[in-house]
Structure 1
Amino acid sequence: MATTETTGVDAATAEAEGSGLSPWSALVGVPAVDVARHPAPITAEIALPGSKSYSNRALLCAAMAEGRSTLRGLLRSDDSYWCIDSLRRLGARVAVDGTTVEIDGLGRRRPRPEARLYIGSAGTTARFLPGLLAAGGPGRFTIDASRQMRGRPMAALLAALRALGADITCPETPEAPPLEIVAPSLLGGPVTLSGALSSQFISGVLLAGPLALNGVHVLIADHVVQKDYVAMTLDMMETFGAVLEADPDLMDMRVEPGGYRPADVGLEADASTATYFFALAAVTGGRVTVTNVGTATRQPDLRFIDVLERMGCAVAREPQAVTVTGPAGGRLTGGFDVDMQPLSDATLTLAAIAPFADAPVAIHGVEHIRKHESDRIAVICAALASLGIGVEERPDGLTVHPGRPTHGDLATHDDHRVAMALAVLGVAAEGVRLRDPGCVSKTCPPFFDLLAGLGVGVSRVPAP
């Protein structure tokens, strides 16, 4: 059983190559891993790495606070590394000791007013940092990103920030990084934007509010595609002293000017990562307890356990922990249609275990995941079909039919969720070979080590 310890890359090389890799990356230079079939039930108690969503929100709020903050339980991933690197380039002191981070915040000051920032493939940093820079002290800032992130336009966010006064231009790729930002330029005030495209666009405006001269008043024109993530942003802002108010539906939100205060914050595990381990219990007839995230969380992907109950699993819920027990033999119950929009990052996890159900499983409401790291609907449909599983693709989802997946040699499309979901499928079926497995470093660099720790056969495929 080969380990997949973090090997990392030189940050300057990654930036020069337009890569999302970082010194915290795993499996650098490893072309593929083989994940073997595991015929026995998987039984384990496991603590998982911290939440990506909470980690990057906390890092940015701490950096914009006046004083010293401490964050515990930080996710050490590519996205977190590039966020920290950007904060250091702005002049913030950031000390990292394992998963504990101490940050001396900048407030509105910009000690390095000509900073060039590189964010890799960190989507949250790409959406959250522009407004914070435009609202801060004087300077000219460049935000550049990986080739992948350059291909993910942010037109709606940039339009909203410009409506609030932000001076942001896109010299190379229309409405996408690299971005050129002149500060101070974000005056704030009222702005109306769509919530149908990305909750991160809304969060990017809200986070800048405490630093803006007039705060911000955000009105949503339609609906919020993933309301829980906006609520997570508001919670984190309040933790760092922001003064705000919002209606229950998050259609009308006001943030007062006044800045952020330092805080001591403990970060829970990533609920999206937890779905893969709950799914392993489901498809092997095992029992898995995740000990550091539970019903007290705001993270919407924890609701995946409700879907697993519908599929015949037993679920024990506690505020800080969850246990999933799969049905004997791993034969799941299908024959239902589920709207995965509120927990869309778990869509691929469900699609990966759906072949092991006794009837088709239909998924809808997730058209927006076509514009994530990959076209996730098209990619998972192609992967399932190549393994002999009947699948029907629709604009906003897919239907997966029962079957026995064959062994496959599969591309991950540089998408962490594709890699982790297909690994779960391989464990329950006949194994899989996953190309470019290091993409898991975006949210869970030790993913394959964690699988190996559960007894799953994981081995590196040597470079040719």
Structure 2
Amino acid sequence: MIPHLPDLEARSPWSANNDKPEVKIVPPSSAVDGKIRVPGSKSLTNRALVIAALAKGRSALHGILQSDDSYWCIDALTKLGVPVAVEGETVYIDGCGGKWPNPSGELYVGAAGTVARFLPGALAAGSGAWSLRGSRRMSERPLAPLLGALTHLGAEFEYGGKERCLPFLLRANGLRGGEVTLPGTTSSQFISGLLIAAPYAREPITLHIEGEVVQRDYVRMTLDTMASFGITAEGSADGQTITVPTGRYQARSFPLEPDVSTCGYFWALAALTAGRVRIDGLDAASTTQPDIEILDVLERMGCTVLRGENFVEVQGTGQLKGGFMVSMKKSSDQTLTIAALAPFADGPITLTDAAHIRHHECDRISAICAELSKLGIRVEEHHDGLTVYPGTPVPALLDSHDDHRMAMALSLIGLRVHGIRITDPGCVSKTCPGYFDQLSGLGVGIEY
């Protein structure tokens, strides 16, 4: 089978290893024992960037994630006329107060789902006409519910291809406000995209959510970030109705905690090598990132987890435990991570409630099943997840599917198995350009 070709246009100047066709993972010679810091949360970074750009005054975002997704967000804001300065791990943004300095232009969102879902509402709340386009895969990913809601509130769209997908021309003359409905079952990013823009509507917006919300904790993250910048929404007891008052975000200094989704791969490194990995700068008790649930799964698999006030440490075990089922409803980005751990457990592991990850950078359920099968691992694919059985993986060339999470999860197999190679290592730049360098720093062999 021919590996999936990377969409190199979506790689930013912050990416790495785009010239490397594949990477070989060499198991460490001993148990990993290390302490690291992980870059800022992608989810928090792009929420904070857009909100700070809408705010009045200069904001400072500390601990910025320098990845493809954040680069394209900053690039779009800069093209909109918002001054953005990156100084080390801090980004300074001079917010426009909701009036974009450049009322027209062409914007590119790369493969960043957060940018593609957060930017249209922020633009529609202002005044102007902008063309938006994204990567090949981003142009296939769903946007219809969000764009439909924005149309209901007064935005106008002209589509260059498939209806209610990228690319499109957005004509904006502000949002009316009032009642609007969105589904919760496809992506929480639709809800977040509307909420971020809502304060700038002419009247308060009351959002009604139909159905169970996929990854509701990310909606809470959005609301918390909005509150940090001065806008507090009111929600119903069941969380299905949210009312956002009119107002203006106020600039502030905002810390970005480490990306827990990325932390999961390094904690898994400890689990697979019976080693120890400590990640500094993270408080497991206070984080709003739902992927922190992977710590509960690692404990269930026999690992020891130490949750400190400003760090989280995982100690691996000689034999990982299996024989259980776990819902990935809240922490679906860790589905691939756990699937990569599962062959080394002492019983099968079933992962459920993750149907929506079929619509991410690739169909992640189908893709991970295909790659585990190449390794000789028995796997059963379900509509909303998979079951992975214990086995002894064989050497193989694995396809990253141009998906950062596929590449990082599959790299974990190479911690225990010689001869594991993965295509297109540069795809990890979407969220963690330095991933393979950090693995190398912890004693894992990396050969390009």
TM-score range, shorter chain: over 0.9
Which string of whole-angstrom CA distances, capped at 9 and with x for unpartnered residues, describes residues 209-262 of structure 1? 111111311111111110100000001111111131123442111111112110
Amino acid at match of 2:132: I
Which of residues 41, 45, 62 is equivalent to 1:51? Answer: 41
TM-score, length basis structure 1: 0.93
Which of residues 141, 163, 176 is equivalent to 2:165? Answer: 176
Correspondence for 1:116:
106
Amino acid at match of 1:153: P
- Map 1:70-149 → 2, pairs under 5 A: 70-136=60-126, 138-149=127-138
Q: Distance in 2 between matches of 1:193 and 1:229?
A: 15
Amino acid at match of 1:386: K
Q: Distance in 2 between matches of 1:382 and 1:207?
A: 38
Correspondence for 2:316:
326
Which string of whole-angstrom CA distances, capped at 9 and with x for unpartnered residues, describes residues 12-56 of structure 1? xx9xx8721110011121111111122421111111111000000
Amino acid at match of 1:419: A
Indicate if the aligned counterparts of 1:66 and 1:261 stay in contact, CA closer than 8 A.
Answer: yes
Q: Distance in 1 between matches of 2:188 and 2:348?
A: 30
Correspondence for 1:35:
25
Correspondence for 1:283:
272
Correspondence for 1:209:
198
- Map 1:175-194 → 2, pairs under 5 A: 175-194=164-183
Indicate if the aligned counterparts of 2:154 and 2:172 stay in contact, CA closer than 8 A.
Answer: no
Q: Distance in 1 between matches of 2:246 and 2:16?
A: 41
Which string of whole-angstrom CA distances, capped at 9 and with x for unpartnered residues, describes residues 79-122 of structure 1? 00000000000000000012110000011212211121111111
Farther off after superposition, 425-434 or 377-386: 425-434
Q: Distance in 2 between matches of 1:110 and 1:50?
A: 26
Indicate if the aligned counterparts of 1:269 and 1:292 stay in contact, CA closer than 8 A.
Answer: yes
Indicate if the aligned counterparts of 1:37 and 1:431 stay in contact, CA closer than 8 A.
Answer: no
Change over 3 Å in CA distance of 1:179–1:18 after alignment to 2? farther
Correspondence for 2:380:
392
Indicate if the aligned counterparts of 2:278 and 2:311 stay in contact, CA closer than 8 A.
Answer: yes
Amino acid at match of 1:414: D
DSSP 3-state at the match of 2:234: strand
Correspondence for 1:338:
326
Correspondence for 1:161:
150
Which of residues 404, 412, 419 is equivalent to 1:416? Answer: 404
Correspondence for 1:452:
440
Q: Distance in 2 between matches of 1:248 and 1:407?
A: 52
Q: Distance in 1 between matches of 2:368 and 2:110?
A: 24
DSSP 3-state at the match of 1:147: coil
Q: Distance in 1 between matches of 2:43 and 2:112?
A: 11
Q: Distance in 2 between matches of 1:248 and 1:152?
A: 31
Which string of whole-angstrom CA distances, capped at 9 and with x for unpartnered residues, describes residues 190-222 of structure 1? 111110110000001101111111131111111
Amino acid at match of 2:148: A
DSSP 3-state at the match of 1:253: strand
Is 1:363 aligned to residue 351 of structure 2? Answer: yes
Q: Distance in 2 between matches of 1:314 and 1:247?
A: 38
TM-score, length basis structure 2: 0.96
Q: Distance in 1 between matches of 2:124 and 2:265?
A: 38
Q: CA deviation at 1:425?
A: 1.3
Amino acid at match of 1:182: R
Is 1:196 aligned to residue 196 of structure 2? Answer: no
Amino acid at match of 1:423: S
- Map 1:397-408 → 2, pairs under 5 A: 397-408=385-396
Q: Distance in 2 between matches of 1:190 and 1:391?
A: 45
- Map 1:178-327 → 2, pairs under 5 A: 178-295=167-284, 296-327=286-317
Q: Distance in 2 between matches of 1:37 and 1:108?
A: 51
Which of residues 330, 350, 356 is equivalent to 2:338? Answer: 350
DSSP 3-state at the match of 1:127: helix
Indicate if the aligned counterparts of 2:174 and 2:202 stay in contact, CA closer than 8 A.
Answer: no
Q: Distance in 2 between matches of 1:238 and 1:92?
A: 22
Q: Distance in 1 between matches of 2:157 and 2:33?
A: 51
Q: Distance in 1 between matches of 2:100 and 2:388?
A: 51
Which of residues 417, 424, 429 is equivalent to 1:441? Answer: 429
Q: Distance in 2 between matches of 1:340 and 1:32?
A: 30
Alignment identity in percent?
Answer: 52
Q: Distance in 1 between matches of 2:312 and 2:10?
A: 32
Q: Distance in 2 between matches of 1:160 and 1:293?
A: 36
Amino acid at match of 1:316: L
Q: CA deviation at 1:381?
A: 0.6
Is 1:428 aligned to residue 424 of structure 2? Answer: no
DSSP 3-state at the match of 1:160: helix
Farther off after superposition, 180-189 or 256-265: 180-189
Q: Distance in 2 between matches of 1:30 and 1:326?
A: 31
What stretches of structure 2 of length at least 5 have no aligned partner?
1-5
Which of residues 343, 355, 362 is equivalent to 1:374? Answer: 362
Amino acid at match of 1:304: I
Correspondence for 2:58:
68
